Structure formats: structure tokens, C-alpha cells
Structure 1
Amino acid sequence: METVVTMAYGRRGLDVSLPAEVVPTLITKAAGTPLVDPAAAVGRALAEPVDAATLAALAAGRRSACIVVCDITRPVPNGVFLRPMIEIMLAAGIALEQITILVATGLHRPSGRDDLAEIVGDPWVLANVRVLDHDARASSELVDLGRTRTRGTPVAINRLFVDAELRIVTGLVEPHFMAGWSGGRKVIAPGIAGQETIRTFHSYRFMADPAATQCRLVGNPLHEEQLEIAAMVGEVYAVNTIIDEDRRLLFVNFGEVRASHLDAVRRAEELSKVPVEQSFSTVLTSAAGYPLDKTYYQTVKAMVTPLGILRPGGTLIVVSECSEGFGSAEYADAQRRLGSRGIDGFLAELAGKRLADIDEWQTQMQLRSQVIADVQLFTGGLDGPERAATGVEVIDDVSVALSRAVARHGDPHVAVIPEGPYLVPVIG
């Protein structure tokens, strides 16, 4: 009987027929229980915060507020909590015109009109509250806060956030292939940081540190810098959410940015780290579907997250729609330099820089997989030159690629990870 698995791919998914000779091991997250009443859960979170006063108490006496939300690449359920938060602020006396929603674009592309509607998720909020993109390149919109003590990272943060009397970041808490876990402090840096800040702690010395990896916070240089940067900003609070593969809300909390994030990480770790009994010569994974697989740039996360279960010399097959194509022009340039210089030459070039060129850190992360495995990509969103610039083998048929991989390795066992980087498989 034919076995078909549905991989996260774009908005609709991709059905893959597994060859008869394949013995699959399906790896999925622990089944979380969706919140029966998300609105009520948000209300409880705002009234029962982690290491902080209630939002109503925090808003009392404040004259301005800035709420930071993630950009279009993160499916945060903002529509569930933004209006309740704003209504509490209004009731506490903050004027509507003094409330700003700031989109944490980092060095990603600006948000389009449709993007903003999807990001905010609430027509009333979009119609009544000022919503702006962060611009990491606009020095006049940044505040210079000096340098971090530990590693000397120059710190510049969006002025609207720094100057606000009430500062709140929001986001998803999920495994992140460099920073350990997304959300919390990461929404500040790189989310609303200046380009020099971002390019410093995405430079070679940070990216080459083995502690800069998924599900690790202790000793992780990015996490440590992000915590210090958040402390330099001052008083910051956070809304942290966890969702399932159907984008349903599983968890939400509110509180002091560091304490509430760690509280959410503990819950996310229970859901996202999946033990498996063995390693595999062949792994089939996804780039998590829409919106994360809109670009090849974001697809790299899928190439790194499953490395803990992939045997050296194995085959990693990734499916990613790449509906918006490659990514930034800077990233495309980094990929072309990889092609012309080779792995060793490219890494040597990076090692000699103080600041990373924009987005070249993603190419450096891609090499974590390429130095140990044969990486193959199935996509419908890249043209000929873009396919060549990926630096990996682009395939036209996943089933055929699976047959070839198991034959090459003489091993029929294949790990199948439909959700991609939203979970981290571990041996044990």
C-alpha cells in the first residue's frame, strides 16, 4: 500500500509518495492541547503576569506605549492579543495617538499593505493604531546606547521603542537555529536594532561558536548579547506565545521580558524537542510552510535543525515553496560568492571581517549542513539562476530523490519531519 506524507509547504502542503523500499520514521511534535478560549487565556496572562505587575497597573500613569510585533515571516497570533492590550492601555489613560505598533523587520524587507493586515490580524487595530516598520538602516530613527560590556557590540535601537514609557515585545517562542529560542529579547535585537548591531552579532565569530545553536541558551553568545541589549534599553515586558502546526494557540504569557521568555521556553521545550532512537542516513524535512518558506533565505533553518540525527555523509532533502524567491539582493550576492570561492575560501573571507555583510550569515549557517551532508532542495519558487545560486542540488521529484538516497546509502530507514524547523529531533 502506498504511503503518502504531507509536508508543510506553502499554504497548502505537499503530498509526497514514499517509495515502497522506504521505511519511514515520522517525527512530529508532542501533541499540545489548543487553548479552548484563547481570548480568556490572553486576559488571564495580562492579569497574572510573570515577575511583573498586571498590564493595567503598568499602563497606569504612563503617557506613551510601543508594542513590537514580528514581521510577516512569523505567524504570531497578534489578532488575539493586540486589541485587548490596547484597550487596557486606553482605560489606563494612554491616548490612542500615543500608542505605536512597531514591526520588527530587522534587516528583512519592508512590509506591504497586505503584510500589515496579516501581521496585525485585527481590522480595528489596523484602522485605529499607528503601525510602522522598523528601518535598521535609518540612523536618525535609532538611539545609540553604547556597547555591550562582554563582547563590545555597538547597540542602536529604534527610538520609538526606547522613548516609549511602556515597552512591550511580542512573538512566538520556538526553536531557533542560532539564538537557541525565538521570541522575547530577540524581538529587540535583531528585530528593532540598527544594522551595525545586527551585523556585529551575526558576524563570523558569533556564528562559528558551537554554542550558537538551537535549543541552547547557556553560553550562547547571541542570547547573552540579546539579554544585555534588552537590559540596556531598560524596562521591557513581553507577550510570549506558542502555537501548533495548525497555528492554534497552545500557550500565552505576559511579564518581564527575561522571566516570561524563560517561562515560555520551558513549555516550548516540552513540545518542540522530540527524542528519536537512532540517527539516519536520509532525512526528509520541510521549511515549515507559509510564511517561513516564502524565501530561500529562511529555508536555511530547515537545513540546520535536523543535523543532530543526520549521519555524516548522509542526505538531507528539504521541501520549500520559496514563493517570494531567493531573499535579499545581499543574500543572493553572498550565495554567489560561495559559489565562486568555495566553502573554505568563503569562510576565510568571513573570518577576516569585523562586521558581517548583510545576510551573509545565513550562507555561513547553510554550510553547517553542507560540510557534513548532501543537501537537496525541492522548490517551485526559484528560477534557473536562483537555483544555481542555492549551492545545493535542486531536485524535481522528491520520491525519486528518496529512492536514490536509500540506494546510495544501502539503508531504507528515512526520518520524515513534516513541520521542519518548528521541532528539534534529538537522539535519546
Structure 2
Amino acid sequence: MTDRTRKWARLALTAALLCITAFLSTDAQGRAFRPHHRSVIARPHAAVGANIRRVPGRHTLRVTRRDTRSDTGSTLASSSLEGIMVVQESTGNVVVSNNTTSLFNPASNVKVPTALWAVRTWGPDYRFTTEVSTDGTINADGALHGNLYVSGRYMLFGEKQGRQLARLLARMGITSVKGNLIVSPEFSMDLHSTGAAAGEKLMATLDPHHKTPGLRSESGLLPDGTPEVAIKGSVKVDAPPATAALLATHNAPPLKDILKIMLCHSDNNMAERFGAMLGGPAALRTFLIESIGIDASEVQLASTSGLFVNRLSPQAMMKILQAFEAELKAHQLSFTDLLAVAGVDDGTLRGRFSAVGQAGSVVGKTGTLPETDLGVSTLSGQFNTNSEGTFLFVIFHMHGDVHRFRARQNSFVTGFQKAHSGARPFVYTPILRRIEGENFWN
């Protein structure tokens, strides 16, 4: 037997053992998996915890929940559902496959195709720009006689950026605005508000006492040293006139860094804002079908964040991962540039796969819905091994305890790495803290 033959024999044996282990790992009352011809189809835009409906020509999955306990913490209840797919990157060979065409709730794994959609649309180095302008003039006493316009759609613009703007205006000699604060309709503050509501938040940041002028400090400074900008008028929503003079520009971090924040922390609001900018869940589904080649029967989306009832097969998720990786490689990027690096990056994977020697060897996206579909936990991405290189993986769980599901996912990935001479960390320099510490005004 040649070395090459022995190598593939060992890989095939490992895959077979993993599949057999997954199939036999059940409680005493029944097996964890359902036959391949059974699948779950959710009503489009169904509410949280929606019932499963029968599909003509198919059996309906049993949805009764029997959450039996186990000392190992990774054994599935008989009513739990599991889908797994593992592909070796160097060859494209599928080495583990179970229930890959069945439909699961992917939870926050939906943020991965949302991120892919954004990168494909704008490019990873695209920057959202916020412009500050005026139609007035600045007097020697520091009064801006006219309106102050703020326009842009950077979703992470918040109090920090507002205070930076106040300092910037003070350096220009502006201490008060005699007109209104006018923001564009898409202007956002702290993700949760746009338009007039966002304008009110910015007003409160620039001029905290504009409703009660008597409370203004004699020094004109807030307790942290931020200058106040007294605004006489009110908040309006409109676009700046073409003749407005530009005062300052905020160039947001590149899109790849914003997506890194969203994916590491699994931020639902960010994902929904991206989705709204790009066209919503229906448009995302069309993108996946027409541009990525996902079978229409294997994807149903009610959100672009993973909230509510969505449906995706492990096979479809694998295609998304492969398309995402190819897109990133075209820009000289890798998964570590956008997805969370387990045991290293802050966020949902900070405490997982963090053992000495394993930290930094798994890159991925989590998904958790404790109540929807009787409990959902998902994990997909990439892991590295010493002897066989990197693998793409998808693990979908539904109908059970999310903590048990996570333990099972951890056990599967760790066991797979051990079977291939252990984990091998990716070469990676953390970037989140650098992003948070930069000032993007000019």
C-alpha cells in the first residue's frame, strides 16, 4: 500500500467512524436522525415558534420535545434533529455527510450569506461616508449663522462619533448653531434609530442641554471635556442643498471591518440594516438562488439576521461558505478577516475551542435560538488540522437544548481535529480592538 493510499484510507475510515458515532449517539429511547426523505418546511414570514406544516408527498417531522439528560452533555434527545457536512478544502471531497439536504433553521448563520451579499455588492474596502455641511457662515464669536447638515448611512455612527464631531466643530471655532440640525432620512444613530429620531440623539450628544439652556456649564464643556455646541433650532429631516459648504467628513472603517464586528458579535440590528440597504430577505433569497446556485427548495428566508423562522439545508450552507471563501480570496482575504476566530476574537466564539493549542484553529459563525423551533443551535465555518489541512464544516441542530447542542458541536470538531494529528491555529492578528480605537473623521 502506497503512502497516498494509506493517507486516503485513514481519511475515509475517520469519516466513517464519525458518521457512525453521530448516528449511534442517541438516548435510550431512539435515534437522533430522521430518514433523508423527511424535511422541515416553515411558512414564509412565520412568527417565532411557528408550527411545522405538512408538505405534499413528504412525511412531516415529529416536533414533540423529549429532552433527555446525559452526563456527557452531548447526547441528543430522540426528537432532536442534526445535519452535518464536512468538506476537505484541498480536494473538495465530502468526508462527512448526514441529512445534508434536509431543511433546518440556520439561526444566525443567515448572517454569513448577508455578509457575502454585501461584499459582492460593494466590495470589502467600501466605506460609508457621513458628511457635515452648512448653508451659513461662521462669525468671529463662534456662532454658525445657518443650518448644520449631517448626511450619511453609516450604521455604527453613535455617541462616540457625535462627541468627536463636537470636538471637531470646536477646533473650527464653532460653539453655537443659530439654525437647525438637519439630518438625512437614512442617517442612523446607535443602530436603533434613523431620520428624526437619530437626529434627536445627535442633538442630545452635541448639545445635551438644548432643551434647558440654564443648565449649560459656564466652561462650555461636558464633564469629560467634550465641548458643547449650542443649537438654537430644532431637528429636521432633509438632504443638504447642493450649495452647502462641506465642514467635515467621516469615512467609516472599510466594509470588511464592519462585517467582522457584525459576525463576531452576531449583531442582529447590523444584519437587518444591511438587509434593508440591499433589498430584504426576499432579495437575499433571490441572490442565493441566482448568483450562488442554491436550489430554491433548500432556502426560505424571513430575515437577513437569522431571527424568526428561516430554512436552509446544510448542503446549501456549504455552497454559501465555498462561494464566500472564493469571493474573499479574489480580494486577497480569508475567513479570518471577517468571521470570528474561536478562542481569540471577542464575541460568540470567544470561549469556545479556546484550549491551549486549539485556540485560533476554528473560524466560524454561531447561531442560537433557544425557543424558536423548540431550540436551535448552529455552527459553520472552517477548522484547521495538523495532518490534513483545512476543512469547511456545517453543523445544524434543531429541536432540543441549545447547551447540549453546543457541547456536541464542540466535541465533534475537537474529535475531528484530534483524529488528524490535532488542531493547527491559523496565522491571524486580531483586528477588533484596532477598529474600535481609530478616529475616522477628516
Larger radius of gyration: 2
**TM-score, length-normalised on structure 1?**
0.31
**Larger strand percent:** 1
**TM-score, length-normalised on structure 2?**
0.30
